[in-house]
Amino acid sequence: MKVRFPLDENLSPDVVTALKRLETDIDAERVGMPGVPPRGTTDPDILAFCEADKRLLVTDNRATMPVYLAAHTEHGDHHWGVFETRHALSIGELAAELHLVWAASEAEEWIDRLEWIPF
């Protein structure tokens, strides 16, 4: 199964645009867009959505997401991967990294993995 990305609301919607320019078939939406939770959704609810919908979360939320992710896994829940973005990463660089992940891997490879992007 191909990787599907929800991007948290802290990331620019331009990342989705850049990704879809690289590959029109990529499933990537930003929180607040149709098909993903609305803006303001809590971190635990975002994680639950990603688990249920088999999506790899891309986040820039270093303040609270790691805490909720730890609680999520300690509770026995799983996730389809979480990518934390590094500061000073441009929109184009982030889009290129996500496109590479989408093109070169399968969703199942990222289950329960937390990674910094770029790698």
CATH number of 4-117: 3.40.50
- Over the stretch 71-99, which tens digit does the pLDDT of each residue have? 999 999 999 999 999 988 999 999 999 99
Compute the distance between CA of residue 110 and CA of residue 40 in angstroms, rounded to an integer. 26
Report the predicted TM-score, pTM, of the whole model to 2 decimal places.
Answer: 0.95
Contact between residue 70 and residue 49 where contact means Cβ atoms under 8 Å apart:
no
Q: For residue 84, give the 3-state DSSP assignment.
A: strand
**d(C-alpha 27, C-alpha 65), whole Å:** 22
Question: Strand 114-117 to strand 82-85: parallel, antiparallel, or no bridges (unpaired)?
Answer: parallel
pLDDT value for 70: 94
* Under 8 Å between Cβ of 9 and 34: no
